[in-house]
């Protein structure tokens, strides 16, 4: 049996969660089995490291690689059989639902995860914001437990300073999304949760952005946005780490990704409907109004972007939010 095994996150094999004892035994008997592991993990043993296929769990080796004694020695890429999208999403949520909290904004992505997971939910936003109101309505209708974190200008200003220290890219979109997620992860950490189930990845996989309705290259846009998820993930996990938490992403489960990427782009965005395949799955579990609901992006729905813009105006940066963020980042780094 191995003595120096360390695991951050969780691992599954062929749809079954592995205990640390089972993991130890498998690695002792057949070290190559790590290539078939699914989950969200950073695994270290006997001078080797391995990280889940998409690198959901941050760590000291490239996503989806096995590194032993500083050299790449394999890949992590479990081979799942083809499956129905609903089956894939169900499996992805089930494997993540033994613990944690769900980040609920009220859109179809997070509502479907919350309904399937049956975990406590958290929503954040300014008083009266779209996301708080919508999450409250949805949770009441579905019988979900919901905690609402009401933000104020001082909270956002202080969080923005902390966020700008850790996110890889400083721009209005990344800063406002990261600040919103800061409060989700802060609440989760304070309540003793490490895992936060969230809906990231659904827009890129299923065609959720409004700009997809006007594009002349839907396939190309979807492909570029999907591969751009790595940068978003680095941002979100950096913020979560401030509070000892991490975001767990059912839609980035390889089963879901494989199934979604096999769907034709024109079947994802058609007849004026975005994320059509996901909405069709959601309609099996949720009221039709929830499955079809279109919501604002989190930075707008929470009111955080508007408040950051107000702060910039107040500080004299009425024409350039980017200049305000750069100034905050410089001053904050100088104090660090």
Q: Is the pLDDT of residue 15 over 80?
A: yes
Statement to judge: residues 92 and 57 lie in one domain: no
- Decide: 169 and 82 in contact? Cβ < 8 Å: no
Statement to judge: residues 89 and 158 lie in one domain: yes
**How confident is the model over 129-134, as a mean pLDDT?**
96
Query: Which of these ranges, 92-101, 179-188, 239-248, 312-321, has the smallest mean pLDDT?
Result: 312-321
Question: How many angstroms separate the CA atoms of 112 and 202, rounded?
Answer: 11
Statement to judge: residues 55 and 96 lie in one domain: no
**Largest Cα–Cα separation, the chain:** 64
Statement to judge: residues 193 and 53 lie in one domain: no
Statement to judge: residues 206 and 283 lie in one domain: yes
Statement to judge: residues 61 and 129 lie in one domain: no
Q: Is residue 209 part of a domain?
A: yes
Number of domains in the chain: 2
Residue 68 has which token pair? 């032993």
Statement to judge: residues 154 and 269 lie in one domain: yes
Q: Is residue 134 part of a domain?
A: yes
Alpha helices (H) along the chain:
20-29, 85-96, 108-117, 130-142, 153-166, 172-190, 202-206, 218-227, 229-241, 254-261, 265-268, 276-282, 288-292, 298-301, 304-314, 321-335
Provide the whole-model pTM.
0.94
Statement to judge: residues 125 and 213 lie in one domain: yes
Q: Which of the listed residues 30, 50, 75 is the one where a domain comes to its end?
A: 75
Statement to judge: residues 49 and 109 lie in one domain: no
Q: Is 120 helix (H, G, I), strand (E, B) or coil?
A: coil
Q: Is 149 helix (H, G, I), strand (E, B) or coil?
A: strand
Question: How many angstroms separate the CA atoms of 110 and 34, rounded?
Answer: 30
**pLDDT bracket for residue 331 (50, 70, 90):** confident
Statement to judge: residues 71 and 108 lie in one domain: no
Q: Is the pLDDT of residue 1 over 60?
A: no
Q: Is residue 148 part of a domain?
A: yes
pLDDT exceeding 70 applies to what percent of the chain?
98
Question: How many angstroms separate the CA atoms of 295 and 315, rounded?
Answer: 30
In total, the chain counts a number of residues equal to 336
**pLDDT bracket for residue 334 (50, 70, 90):** very low
Domain of 202 in residue numbering reads as: 85-301
- Cα-based distances in Å from 293 to 121, 207, 258, 270, 286: 19, 14, 25, 16, 11
Q: Is the pLDDT of residue 294 over 90?
A: no
**pLDDT bracket for residue 319 (50, 70, 90):** confident
Question: 61-97: per-residue pLDDT in tens?
Answer: 999 999 998 899 999 999 999 999 999 999 999 999 9
Which CATH number belongs to the domain containing residue 238 in this structure?
Answer: 3.40.50.620
Q: Is the pLDDT of residue 318 over 90?
A: no
Question: How many angstroms separate the CA atoms of 184 and 188, rounded?
Answer: 6
**How confident is the model over 269-287, as a mean pLDDT?**
96
**How confident is the model over 171-190, as a mean pLDDT?**
97
Statement to judge: residues 58 and 131 lie in one domain: no
Statement to judge: residues 192 and 237 lie in one domain: yes
Task: Please give the pLDDT value at position 52.
Answer: 98
Q: Is residue 58 part of a domain?
A: yes
Find where tokens 């846009």 sit: 221
Q: Is the pLDDT of residue 335 over 90?
A: no
Question: How many angstroms separate the CA atoms of 271 and 265, rounded?
Answer: 13
**How confident is the model over 29-44, as a mean pLDDT?**
94
145, 93, 131, 298: CA torsion to nearest 10:
150
Average pLDDT, the chain: 95
């Amino acid at each position: 049996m191995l003595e120096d095994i360390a695991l951050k996150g969780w691992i599954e094999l062929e749809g079954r969660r592995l205990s640390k004892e089972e993991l130890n035994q498998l690695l002792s008997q057949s070290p190559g089995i790590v290539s078939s592991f699914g989950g969200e993990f950073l695994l270290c043993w006997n001078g080797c490291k391995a990280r889940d296929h998409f690198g959901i769990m941050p760590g000291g080796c490239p996503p989806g690689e096995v590194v032993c004694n500083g050299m790449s020695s394999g890949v992590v890429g479990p081979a799942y059989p083809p499956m129905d999208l609903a089956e894939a999403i169900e499996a992805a949520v089930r494997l993540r639902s033994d613990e944690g909290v769900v980040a609920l904004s009220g859109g179809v992505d997070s509502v479907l995860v919350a309904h399937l997971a049956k975990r406590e939910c958290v929503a954040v936003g300014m008083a009266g914001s779209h996301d708080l109101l919508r999450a409250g309505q949805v949770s009441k209708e579905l019988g979900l437990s919901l905690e609402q974190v009401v933000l104020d200008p001082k909270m956002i200003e202080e969080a923005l300073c902390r966020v700008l220290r850790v996110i890889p890219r400083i721009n209005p979109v990344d800063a406002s999304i990261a600040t919103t997620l800061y409060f989700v992860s802060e609440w989760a950490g304070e309540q003793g949760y490490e895992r936060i189930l969230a809906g990231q990845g659904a827009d890129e996989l299923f065609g959720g952005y409004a700009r997809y309705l006007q594009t002349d290259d839907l396939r190309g846009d979807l492909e570029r946005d999907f591969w751009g998820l790595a940068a978003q993930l680095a941002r979100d996990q950096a913020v979560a780490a401030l509070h000892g938490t991490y975001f767990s992403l059912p839609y980035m489960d390889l089963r879901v990704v494989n199934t979604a990427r096999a769907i034709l782009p024109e079947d994802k965005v058609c007849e004026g409907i975005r994320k059509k395949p996901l909405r069709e799955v959601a309609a099996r579990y949720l009221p039709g109004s929830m499955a079809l609901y279109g919501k604002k992006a989190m930075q707008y729905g929470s009111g955080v972007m508007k408040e950051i813009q107000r702060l910039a105006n107040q500080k004299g940066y009425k024409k350039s939010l980017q200049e305000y963020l750069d100034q905050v980042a410089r001053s904050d780094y100088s104090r660090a």
